[in-house]
A and B are shown apart, each in its own frame.
Chain A
Amino acid sequence: MERELIGVISIVFLIVLLLSRMPVAFVMLVLGMSGIAWIKGLSAALGAASTIMYGTFANYALVVVPLFTWMGYIGYHSGISEHLYEAAYKLVGRLKGGLAMATTMACAAFGAICGSTTATSATFAVLALPEMKKRGYNHSLATANVAASGILGVLIPPSVIFIVYASITAESVAKLFIAGIFPGILLTLLFLGSTYVVVARDPKKAPPGPLFPWKERLKAVAKGGIEVIIIFVAVIGGLLAGLFTGTEAGSVGCFATLLVVLARRALTWKGFIDSLKDTVRTATMVMFLVGAAAVYGEFLGLTRLPMVVADWVVALPLPPSIIIVAVLIILMGMGCFVDALAMVLLTIPIFYPAAMSLGFDGTWFGVIMTLALGMGVLTPPVGANVYVVYAVDKETPVMDIFRGVWPYLISLWICCGILLLFPQVVLFLPNLIR
């Protein structure tokens, strides 16, 4: 049988097994090993799977995944996230939709120390949802806002997604981190805009919160902001100044965060242990997925399907920007059904070569892929952030959360459009350094 056809058959099986509630990592492992066995024999499949698993686990570039995850959990268990929310709450809570806006702003700030999108959403589901509900917020709006704002956690550096993307494509982590800053700010503003429009159309959805005197507001901002600013400046500043590399920034970031929270006596021994335990669970989940996806990716490489698709896409008689829009639509479609990280892992081997042949910048494409992932974690039926929010707040039905998500999806599309028309938004900062 033609190898390309074997690749296509595997994709059919992929969908079937995913729908049968088999854990995504095992689906990819099983299909990758079976596929390699089909093409190259049993011993080749076994050899490939074991060396790839070892290669993923003992990988210098990927060790930052647990570290940037830990950084976020230290922030959570030491109350940094709480201070951030309080600051944003006191600052803009008075406005219509102000509490939702405060959540978005706090997520963006928390993104500066947390590398994971689900961790960001989970953190603020705990902090912000009770407050919004107490003030009579529409549940659908409140939960969707938290789910969407979590995306800022992977767009604003540090970002686990950028690290994984860089490890597959050999793009520079440092460049991707820097490149994420402006799009992160842009998306924050667009999310604020989404909330504003929703509330302007139906003010009952988001009654204003209490008014705090300016002195109290400034005090809260100082208290909440200072920790994050110190950590962010230490990590990103050190990275920019060439004090350490993007890979080392994970360890330096954890160390800086620990120093800050210890100086403020904000972290208990129990909090420290809990932060590590949460990290082991999250990081192992991500890395097992990455390893399994690498086995499946190896198989796809052997089928030559990615190369065939890339050649086909490049040969299309369409302008490159239209092709990228098509890629985004495919990703969004896939993102509905496949776990977003798994989707990025599965499609990078196919779309990255295509994007490169079309002449796009690898850093820019990394940001675009991250935005596509952002759509994936929000869209039904499989939207990780929505389920994370649901896990924290069982009161709001999942479909209600999904129903509230569309204004934020529009923001994500607008953000992609702006980056497509003005790639400088992404590339300005990285080019400045070069």
Chain B
Amino acid sequence: SAPASARKRIQLDFATFWPAGDFQAGVGHKTWMKIIADRVKAETDYEILWTEFFGVHPAKLLDGVEAGTYDVGTSGPGYSPGVFPLWAGPEFPAEAHRKNAYTMSLTLQALHEQVPELQAQFAPTNMKLMHFWSTGPGYFLMTPGKDVRTLGDFAGKTIRAGNPASASTIDALGGEALFAPMSVALERFEAGLVDGILCPTDTPKGFGLGSYVRHVTFAPFSYHFVFFKVMNRGTYDGLPESVRAIFDEVNAEFPAYYGKLRTWGEADGLEYMKELEGYTYYDLAKENPAEYAKWVAATKDLIVEWIDGDSTKQAVWDKFLELDEYYNTTPPYSTWTHSWPTKPEPPSWEK
């Protein structure tokens, strides 16, 4: 590779909605940028300089990448309703495995790769997909005294949902869904107008929800949330071929790494919650299988309503279940476990 003086610089702006202190940005995104920058430096005559923007509003983010204000950004299909309609399906509740963020990330990246109709949703946009990843299973995180352990407990409780599938799930369970951005939800938590949230367990630490929620009910059937990382298409097309190749290779590795990292982060968030006064944990499927079956039954028709006889939607859903089965039951994917709490550091990247 060339000496520093002969190198051609490529300046790229990376934007994400996670706050800088959250592991997803502080460890995950920084690692991705560093791996790419290191490899570009080692293998080509170019040099990449990243500028990072954290805590950017999700809606502004997608527009920003689209317009080219940011070169790379993170978002999720749930943040721009209507733009990726087929992606709403896989986020619906079902008795899928949804073991952890690692198996889910592999599942959803494979789903995208194997269903051309899902890929086609990026065609009208000005965005080049880098890769997908996912949260782990869902938890109901409730404020003090508002624990949910039976269907009856949902009556009169307002619970924040992060995507349309979660909103209808909460309604079907008998609760009142507040489908609103995190900023609106936080304001309502502060005023005591929300009783809980359906999400993974990293949010109490990463988004400051720890000031409000105490009771945890594990409900893996209910939820996961899909994320993607995209690059402005013009930026991508303008990159030298050797640099593009490095992006492609690194991106192929990252659903797995982000999945592992998120699995750790969600466990780390739960450890953080355990220190909070009044903390309780309830594994519904284990403690009361009959009740768990009732919850699943109450929500099983939601996906049928979404599919509504559409063969493409049906195909997306069937493929999702098939891949969920595969990655959650086939070693080495199914047997991978995260290092918490014996090793509190986040898993480091290795090829």
Check if B34 is an interface residue, CB within 8 A of chain A: no
- Beta-carbon contact of B51 and A302 below 8 Å: yes
A302 and B63 alpha carbons, distance in the complex (Å): 16
Question: Is B268 in the interface zone, CB < 8 Å from A?
Answer: no
Asked whether, in the complex, the Cβ of B193 is within 8 Å of the Cβ of A242, the reply is: yes
CB distance from B45 to the nearest CB of A (A): 22
A210 contacts the other chain (CB 8 A): no
Residues of chain B contacted by A302 (CB below 8 angstroms): 13, 51, 69
- Those of A260-289 within 8 Å (CB) of chain B: none
Binds A, one of B77-85, B180-188, B244-252, B338-346: B180-188
Assess the A174–B183 pair: CB atoms within 8 A. Answer: no
Please name 16 further chain A to chain B contacts, defined as beta carbons within 8 Å, in addition to the given A45-B69, A48-B69, A60-B183, sorted by A numbering.
A36-B69, A43-B234, A47-B66, A47-B69, A51-B64, A51-B69, A61-B183, A173-B187, A174-B187, A174-B191, A244-B191, A245-B187, A245-B188, A246-B187, A298-B69, A301-B53
Q: Report B-chain residues with C-beta under 8 Å of the C-beta of A239.
A: 191
Contact string against A for B residues 227-261, beta-carbon threshold 8 Å, 1 for contact and 0 otherwise: 00000001000000000000000000000000000
Give the interface SS of chain A, mostly helix, strand, loop or mixed. Answer: helix
In the complex, whether A52 has a CB less than 8 A from a CB of chain B is: yes
- Contact code string B164-188 (vs A, CB < 8 Å = 1, else 0): 0000000000000000000110011
Among residues 288 to 344 in chain A, which have CB atoms less than 8 Å away from a CB atom of chain B?
298, 301-302, 304
- 20 A-B pairs, CB-CB below 8 angstroms? A36-B69, A41-B68, A44-B67, A44-B69, A47-B63, A47-B66, A51-B60, A51-B67, A55-B60, A60-B183, A60-B184, A172-B190, A174-B187, A175-B190, A239-B191, A244-B191, A244-B193, A246-B191, A247-B184, A247-B187
Listed in ascending order, the chain A residues whose CB lies under 8 Å from chain B are 3, 36, 40-41, 43-48, 50-52, 55, 60-61, 170, 172-175, 239, 242-247, 298, 301-302, 304
Contact of A245 among B13, B63, B193 (CB under 8 A): B193
Cross-chain contact A47 with B67 (CB below 8 angstroms): yes
Q: Decide: B187 and A40 in contact? CB cutoff 8 A.
A: no
Nearest A residue to B208 by beta-carbon distance?
A170
Q: How long is the Cα–Cα vector from A61 to B190 in the complex, in angstroms?
A: 15
B57, CB-defined interface residue at 8 Å: yes
Q: Are A245 and B191 also in contact (CB < 8 A) when A51-B60, A55-B57 are? A: yes
Q: Which residues of B contact A47 (CB under 8 A)?
A: 63-64, 66-69
The residues of B that contact A50 with a CB separation of less than 8 Å are 67
Contact of A48 among B64, B183, B190 (CB under 8 A): B64
CB distance from B235 to the nearest CB of A (A): 10
Is B55 an interface position by the 8 A CB rule? yes
State the CA gap A40–B11 with chains docked (Å). 10
Size of interface on B: residues with Cβ below 8 Å to A: 23
Output the nearest chain A residue to B192 by Cβ-Cβ distance.
A242
* Pair A170/B55 contact, Cβ less than 8 Å: yes
Q: Does B276 lie at the interface of the complex (its beta carbon under 8 Å from any beta carbon of A)?
A: no
Name the distance in Å between A391's Cβ and chain B's nearest Cβ: 37
Q: How far is the CA of A51 from the CA of B61 in the complex (A)?
A: 10
A40 touches B188 (CB 8 A): no
A-binding residues in B (CB < 8 A): 11, 13, 51, 53, 55, 57, 59-60, 63-64, 66-69, 183-184, 187-188, 190-193, 234
Least CB distance from B211 to A in Å reads: 8
Total contacts A-B at CB 8 Å: 69
CA distance A60 to B181 in the complex (A): 10
B234's closest neighbor in chain A, by CB?
A: A43
Q: A61 CB to closest chain B CB, in angstroms? A: 7
B13 surroundings in chain A (CB, below 8 A): 40, 302
Measured between C-beta atoms, what is the minimum distance from B68 to chain A in Å? 4
B69 touches A40 (CB 8 A): yes
Which residue of B has the minimal Cβ distance to A45? B69
User: Closest 6 interchain pairs by CB?
Assistant: A47-B67, A44-B68, A51-B63, A242-B192, A48-B69, A242-B191
Q: How far is the CA of A51 from the CA of B13 in the complex (A)?
A: 17
Q: Are B60 and A172 in contact (CB under 8 A)?
A: no
- Complex Cα spacing A301 to B13, Å: 11
- Which residues of B lie under 8 Å from residue A43 when comparing CB positions? 67-68, 234
CA of A36 to CA of B183, assembled, Å:
27
In the complex the two chains form, what is the Cα distance from A58 to B67 in whole Å? 19
Is the pair B187, A172 in contact by a Cβ cutoff of 8 Å? Answer: yes
- Cα of A221 to Cα of B67 in the assembled complex, Å: 58
- Cα distance A127–B280 in the bound complex, in angstroms: 60
Q: Which residues of B contact A244 (CB under 8 A)?
A: 191, 193
Complex contacts, A46 vs chain B, CB 8 Å: 67
Please name all residues of chain A whose beta carbon is closer than 8 Å to the beta carbon of B234 when the two chains form the complex: 43
Query: For B188, what are the chain A residues with a Cβ–Cβ distance below 8 Å?
Result: 245
How far is it, in angstroms, between the C-alpha of A47 and the C-alpha of B64 when the chains are bound? 7
Taking the closest CB of chain A, its distance from the CB of B183, in whole angstroms, is 7
Chain A residue numbers with a CB within 8 Å of B187 are 172-174, 245-247
Q: How far is the CB of B77 from chain A (nearest CB, A)?
A: 19
A173 vs B55: C-alpha distance when bound (angstroms): 18
A380 to B101, CA, bound (A): 59
Assembled-state Cα–Cα distance A243/B11 (Å) = 49
